[in-house]
Structure 1
Amino acid sequence: MNKKQKKMLARILIAAVMLAVLNVIPVAGPLRLALYLIDYLIIGYDILQKAGKGIWNRRVFDENFLMAVATVGAFALAIYSGSGDYNEAIAVMLFYQIGELFQSYAVGKSRKNISALMDIRPDYANVEENGRLVKVDPDEVGIGSVIVVQPGEKVPLDGVIIEGSSSLNTSALTGESLPRDAKAGDEIISGCINMSGVLKIRTTKEFGESTVSKILELVENSSSRKSKSEDFISKFARVYTPAVCYSALALAFLPPLVQMMTGAPADFSVWIYRALTFLVISCPCALVISIPLSFFAGIGGASREGILIKGSNYLETLSHAKYVVFDKTGTLTQGVFEVSGVHHNEIENAKILEYAALAECASSHPISKSLQKAYGREIDLSRVTDVEEIGGYGITARVDGKAIAIGNDKLMKKLGIPYYECHSVGTIAHMAIDGEYAGHIVISDIVKPHSKEAIAELKKSGVEKTVMLTGDAKRVAEQVAGSLGIDEVYSELLPADKVSKVEELLNVKHEKEKLAFVGDGINDAPVLTCADIGIAMGAMGSDAAIEAADVVLMDDDPLQIPKAIKISRKCIRIVYQNISFALIIKFACLALGAVGIANMWYAVFADVGVMILAILNAIRALRVHNL
């Protein structure tokens, strides 16, 4: 509890004890009224103050005004009737303040939980200057500076490791509990926690442009983007509160006037009491507080899992996603070429890889790099001569004096060498040695381990159609889509074609159904922005992704996509539950209050009780780990 909450708790306890004592000791007359007024002011002076300020600033219709009018009116009725029963006025204010304290504590606790989960802002950076370490504010560190991160410290800025190796805890960024290994030459981002070795890092960004700053800015700004549900509640409260105030006024005076006109005795005190009860019941706190809190908790719970949602409007849109469109490379596949098969003629696999890696040693093409990686040894350039790259065909070279030709089927045809067709999925590199066909190597973009499971989870969670877009050849695209269970696939697309295809899909879907596009955020910003909701995955350290997307997945695990949708749907369910529950109870109690069945005690439950239950339900949106 903070200082303000402790002060409120003390006021509640004093007022409650004083109310109990006043009901025991025999006090009558003006002294009784004075003691009850003191008790009332102890518990309610701030509400009266806020109501007065609201009237002065022409913001009359709020919960403070409703409570002030209702409780002051109850006091006035007790004085007018001469009953001396001031308990209800004080009890209503007392329970209202208990509800406010609970709400303040619950909101504060959920904010603290989220702050703790997102506690990635570093307090300092150890800058190396003239052989010694100087502790400075991260804002003061320039690009190209050398910083030292000790075990247990947060990495303060983005950079490249120039010395040392360690394990990094990235859980605050990605939701991933397993540590990641890092060594010299690796890029490193701010917000990670160094777990073991000492790291020397050369910074590549200033703190204001670093990953941790971008993430914190994104989370802090998320509350400013309101959902349709929040806008509805704001508009509803603006109309609802004046309406119930005027209804209470009508309830207080119209029935007695009708009684007078019909010759019956006008019972003003009964109808004014009902009107005051009506005002207490009508307070819209449960809706005004719990709906934004539900979204806040949902966004906070998602951030805990490494899913950054830029606002409650995007959370709400995501919950209605029925179409999910994927860019293949880097999203469903690893985006890294690997040798997936070697089919030889009369030569060993290892020898084919060796000749291929040596012949391709001068090329920077991704396929060449994958061959060198599969070979796994240092390239001895002295063994290679007469390298010639033939654009669109492949490479010819001499390795250990042998004439090596490696490339596509067009190269084999060009050289007049008979070759075997390969029906494996991937890029086929055919090889000939001294004019004789030696075999071929299959190079594939490897599918991520959880891609198939992610597609199945999406369908289980209610996504009606999954689509894959790719620039790959039709045969490769269809094989990948088929193995993953994707409904539709469009291949051989240029970046502009992907935008056109998404726009086409947007035109055929139902208006209430939403289309989510999932990409790596690096080269598909136009598609991310034209979809109903853009999701960038594996975006840890990518400024482009954080800028372009509506939802940023810090990890590159495809299972984060169905998890994000499940989190959004749980949050929206809670919002609808709170709206339905609060309105049903409110309107039922308003009707009972108007006909005199519900007294002030019912009113207290309808206001404070509903608010507490709605807040407790809203906080459930924080718990998303096992979805």
Structure 2
Amino acid sequence: MSENLDCCNNLKEVKAVSEQTDLGGEKLKITGLCCANCARELEEELNGLDGVSATVDFMNMNVVLAASSPEAREKAIYAITHFEDVKIVTESQKRTGVLKEHLDEFIRIGVSLLFFIPALVLDVTGIGYGSLALKIVTWVMFGAAYIAVGYPVLWLTVKNIAKGKIFDENFLMTVASLGAIALGISGSDGFMEGVAVMLLYQIGETLQGIAVGSSRKSISQLMDLKSEKATLLENGVQRTVNPEGLKTGDIIMIKAGEKVPVDCKIREGESALDMKSLNGEPVPRDVKAGDEILSGSINLTGVIVAEVVREYKNSAVARILELVENSTAKKSKPEKFISKFAKYYTPAVCLAAAVVAAVVPTIICAANSAFIWATYSEWIYKALGFLVISCPCALVISVPLSYFYGIGRCAKFGILVKGSTCLDELALSTIAAFDKTGTVTEGKFSVKSYTDERTLRLAASAEKLSSHPIACAFDGAEGGLTVTDAEEIAGRGIKCVCEGKILLCGNAKLLKENGVVFNEKQSVSTLVYVAHGGEYVGVIEIDDTVKGGVAECMAALKKQGLSRTVMLTGDSAARAESIAKEAGLDGFEAGLLPDGKLDRANELKKGGKLLYVGDGINDAPVMIAADCGISMGKVGSDAAIEASDIVLVSDNLSLIPKGRKIAKKTRSIVLQNIIGSLAVKAIIMALDIALPAFPLIVSVVADVGVMLLAVINSMRTALLK
């Protein structure tokens, strides 16, 4: 009955702290989860419940829970709150600061050391064995040191055994330390080593917690994009509100030094924006009335009055934070391997320890035809070393931590990676394919060349009255001439009156049909011919220009090991060839319809892992088919985020080789941690078997040391450039 009441109380608390996610469930903030291996065990326990699907994220300390019924949810909440010391918390309940967060551990370790150090001095110098009274004092101090630091482990071991959980680190350390104490007492060596095993283990666990906590804080600081308040203008009155309360169409004021709270369009004022947190670019961006600005950027100079174009939940900053926080849900192959490996590694090593402790000495004694306790004692001692080294924490922690840092580092430069599997695919890609319009090119027409200033001025004056997309190419050109009686002729151009004469502005057919004599120009670009008063004036080349830095991007990708870069487009072969050559691409496929692009992408995949870069809307089928899909500058677009694996905050293609460099280095660090940790554990096991009386403390130090080294190595990912 008390358990049911406890569960009901937990459910009341959970209603207040849970939030819905795009992952198909509610997100619960938790605390008290001691290690990544425990997170794996909790996840397995939750997924073993009928009607429950859950993902436990050790790095972000949350559980994404999906339950098919209220009853299933109730069981899941009960399982979470009764798993070791795990609790469901609100943000306000979460401690901050290393001292507060680990205060209990510091006190336990401090009290233990207070007893252990004088007892160790008495033990090593032999003073503690000078008389029965001193021996009792020494042992009492060792006992106090052991209980002070070991009672949480002992208590969790008892609770877990009652639940049928045996092969966890608490059980292993309990058996190893108590076994060492028992052997020490029986061999008249005291139980200093058993106490040292538990003390070193707890010190290692605390250092691990500090290191992982530091990584969480560094990522939080890295993603400190959200503005806590916004200034809403209502009938000329300023009112401070939360960004979440702003609606599309609201008018807000952004003062110098403030963060942009939501995506908006400037109505009044001009300024410079610091966008380092969004795209990693150190140079401020100048903005003025009419420009759209993204949330998370910082207003550096003037006061801006802007209109909200997207609510907070759909703004850039919310998308970025959500993508980074949910990135651990998509696990890479190394992460999945480690999860499976950890599940079987500990039981396998424990079985090996049992063989070492029981079978090996039995065989030796049988060969000598005599029972020798010293032989059993020696091999039981060696088996305890196996138990100490059997904890897979170094692997289970360092691998997701490396990816967590890698994804966070990418986010620092405006590269939003949806998960470690996406980061791996980016690192392993060997072929890159690009959409043309809006990806390789600017996606808008501009004037490429013109005969003379008069030609450009006449065309600009006429095209201002046109609704054709090509007319946008003349937006920045100076016109100024009075134009009347404009007539837009479909498939030809525009005909109007300028300075009392007929002005023709369009393709070659328009001029020919009006009897104008001229020589046609050969070009892969769109040509706009101009005639005034029946006489030919000149020609203007209009084109969708290649983005700056594209050629450098392609060269960098080839240098990183990509075998081929191609462009897939529905444009003509002549224009595609010209753009591909200017962009430094290896090849192109022109005249492709959407289904043709998909077929060609599948053909490219036969030659290696395919990286596809597009706008994320028209190219969604190709992005889904590709091994890694990247969308360009569409943070506010649901279609882009859903279709692609990686989203670039800006349209800067140079972010792709930067992201790939981080991805490759992250994967390298992951493999270093896996190979290094397994190698150290294998060496310690071999030395434990080969060397007589191999110190148990060395095994503990090696286990703690390799875990800390793996965590520190993972943190190097945060320094990648």
* TM-score normalised by the chain length of structure 1: 0.93
1:366 matched residue in structure 2:
469
CA 484–361 in structure 1, closer or farther in 2 if over 3 Å, else same: closer
Equivalent positions of 1:523-542 (< 5 A) are: 523-542=618-637
Contact 1:314 1:533 in 2 (8 A): yes
**Aligned counterparts of 1:352 and 1:531: Cα–Cα separation in 2:** 46
- The aligned amino acid for 2:716 is R
CA distance in 2, matches of 1:393, 1:473: 19
Residue identity opposite 2:178 in structure 1: V
The answer to whether 1:9 aligns with 2:114 is no
Q: Do 1:326 and 1:467's aligned partners in 2 also have CA atoms closer than 8 Å?
A: yes
CA contact (8 A) 1:274 1:596 kept: no
Deviation of 1:425 (Å): 4.0
Bigger drift between 63-72 and 596-605 goes to 596-605
How far the C-alpha of 1:422 sits from its partner, in A, is 2.9
- Indicate conservation of the 8 Å contact 2:254/2:304, yes or no: yes
- CA shift in 2, pair 1:422/1:99, >3 Å: farther
SS at match of 1:21: helix
CA contact (8 A) 2:116 2:141 kept: no
* Other-structure match for 1:328: 436
CA offsets 1:217-244 (integer angstroms, 9 cap, x no match): 1111111211110110010010111011
Quick one: which of 312, 318, 331 aligns to 1:226? 331
Q: Per-residue CA shift, 1:90-116, capped at 9, x if unaligned? A: 222222222222221221112111111
Letter aligned with residue 58 of structure 1: G
Deviations for 1:512-556, whole angstroms, at most 9, x for unmatched residues? x32111112343223222211110122344443223211011121
**Partner residue, 2:141:** 35
- Residue 612 of structure 1 corresponds to 708
In the alignment, structure 1 residue 602 sits paired with structure 2 residue 602: no
**2:682 is equivalent to residue 587 of structure 1:** yes
- How has the CA–CA distance of structure 1 residues 599 and 23 changed in structure 2, closer, same or farther, with 3 Å as cutoff? closer
Give the AA of the match of 1:452: A
Instruction: Name the counterpart of 2:38.
Output: none
Alignment of 1:57-76 (within 5 A): 57-76=163-182
> Is the 1:189–1:541 Cα contact (8 Å) retained in structure 2?
no
Distance in 2, matches of 1:229 and 1:64, equals 26
- Is residue 315–residue 568 contact of structure 1 (8 Å, CA) maintained in 2? yes
Counterpart in the other structure of 2:153 = 47
Give the whole-Å Cα distance in 1 for the aligned partners of 2:345 and 2:406: 27
Q: Give TM-score, length-normalised by structure 2.
A: 0.81
- Measured in 1, the distance between the counterparts of 2:438 and 2:711 equals 40
Query: Which position in structure 2 is the counterpart of 1:355?
Result: 458
Task: From 190, 204, 207, give the equivalent of 2:312.
Answer: 207
Q: Could you report, residue by residue, the CA deviation over 1:326-350 in whole angstroms, capped at 9, with x for unpaired residues?
A: 111222221222111113xxxxx11
8 Å Cα contact 1:338/1:443 also seen in 2: yes
SS, match of residue 102 in structure 2: helix
Partner of 1:400: 499
User: Of 617, 635, 642, which aligns to 1:547?
Assistant: 642
Does structure 1 conserve the Cα–Cα contact (< 8 Å) formed by 2:431 and 2:563? yes
Could you report, residue by residue, the CA deviation over 1:455-493 in whole angstroms, capped at 9, with x for unpaired residues?
Answer: 000000011110111222211110111122211201222
1:83 aligns to 2:214 (yes or no): no
- Structure 1, residues 311-361: CA drift from partner, whole Å, max 9, x if none? 111111111110111111222221222111113xxxxx1111111122222
Using the TM superposition, give the Cα deviation of residue 424 of structure 1 relative to its aligned residue in structure 2, in angstroms. 4.2
Partners of 1:332 and 1:65 lie apart in 2 by 58
Cα–Cα, structure 1 residues 491 and 24, in superposed 2: closer, same or farther, change >3 Å? same
Counterpart amino acid of 2:649? M
Is 1:296 equivalent to 2:404 in the alignment?
yes
User: Where do 1:433-512 residues align within 5 Å?
Assistant: 433-506=532-605, 508-509=606-607
Retained in 2: the 8 A contact 1:324–1:515?
Answer: yes
Matches of 1:594 and 1:57, distance apart in 2: 33
Q: CA deviation at 1:416?
A: 4.5
How far apart in 2 are the matches of 1:433 and 1:163? Answer: 40
Query: 1:549/1:514 Cα in 2 relative to 1: closer, same or farther (>3 Å)?
Result: same
Give the partner amino acid of 1:93. M
Q: Which residue identity lines up with residue 500 of structure 2 in the other structure?
A: G
Residues 405-444 of structure 1: per-residue CA shift (max 9 Å, x gap): 2222333443454433434442111222333332210112
Give unpaired runs (5+ residues) of structure 2. Answer: 1-97, 129-133
Moved more, 561-570 or 354-363: 354-363
Query: Superposition RMSD on alpha carbons, in Å?
Result: 1.9
C-alpha displacement at 1:6, in angstroms?
4.0
Give the AA of the match of 1:602.
Answer: V
3-state SS of 1:20 partner: helix
In structure 2, the residue matched to 1:422 is 521
Q: Partner of 1:389 in structure 2? A: 488
SS in 2 for 1:422: coil
1:132-151 to structure 2, matched below 5 A, reads 132-151=237-256
Q: Tell me, what secondary structure is at the counterpart of 1:23?
A: helix
Residues 151/431 of structure 1: CA separation in 2 closer, same or farther (3 Å cut): same
**2:542 aligned counterpart, secondary structure:** strand
Residue 127 of structure 1 contacts residue 133 of structure 1 at CA under 8 Å; is this kept in 2? Answer: yes
What letter corresponds to residue 367 of structure 1 in structure 2?
A: I
CA distance in 1, matches of 2:524, 2:110: 74
What is the match of residue 346 of structure 1? none
For 1:415 and 1:553, locate their aligned partners in 2 and report how far apart those are by CA, in whole Å.
Answer: 49
Partner of 1:239: 344
Aligned-partner Cα distance in 2 for 1:392–1:46: 81
- The 8 Å contact of residues 262 and 315 in structure 2, kept in 1 or not, is answered as yes
- Greater shift in the superposed pair: 414-423 or 362-371: 414-423
Map 1:268-347 to 2 at 5 A: 268-343=376-451
Q: String of CA shifts for 1:240-292, please: whole Å, max 9, x gaps.
A: 11011111111101122223433033321111101001111222121111111
Considering Cα pairs closer than 8 Å and 6+ residues apart, tell me whether 1 or 2 has the greater RCO. Answer: 1
AA of the residue aligned to 1:261: A
- The one-letter code matched in structure 1 to 2:602 is E
Amino acid at match of 1:527: V
State the distance in 1 between where 2:668 and 2:371 align: 51
CA contact (8 A) 2:464 2:474 kept: no
Long gaps (5+) in structure 1? 344-348
The farther-off stretch of 435-444 and 286-295 is 435-444
| Deviations 1:559-600, CA, capped at 9 Å, x for gaps | 101111111100000000111111111112112212345321
Decide whether aligned partners of structure 1 residues 4 and 385 sit closer, same or farther in structure 2, where only a CA change above 3 A counts.
Answer: closer
Q: CA deviation at 1:388?
A: 2.4
Note if contact 1:278-1:594 (Cα within 8 Å) is conserved in structure 2. Answer: no
Q: CA deviation at 1:30?
A: 4.1
Kindly state the Cα deviation for residue 29 of structure 1 after the two structures are TM-superposed. 4.0
Q: Is the 2:546–2:582 contact (alpha carbons within 8 Å) kept by the matching residues of 1?
A: no
Report the Cα distance in structure 2 between the residues aligned to 1:144 and 1:2, rounded to whole angstroms. Answer: 46
SS at match of 1:24: helix
| Percent identical | 46
Distance of 2:411 and 2:318 partners within structure 1: 15
Question: Per the alignment, do residues 324 and 53 of structure 1 end up closer, same or farther by CA in structure 2, a change over 3 Å counting?
Answer: farther
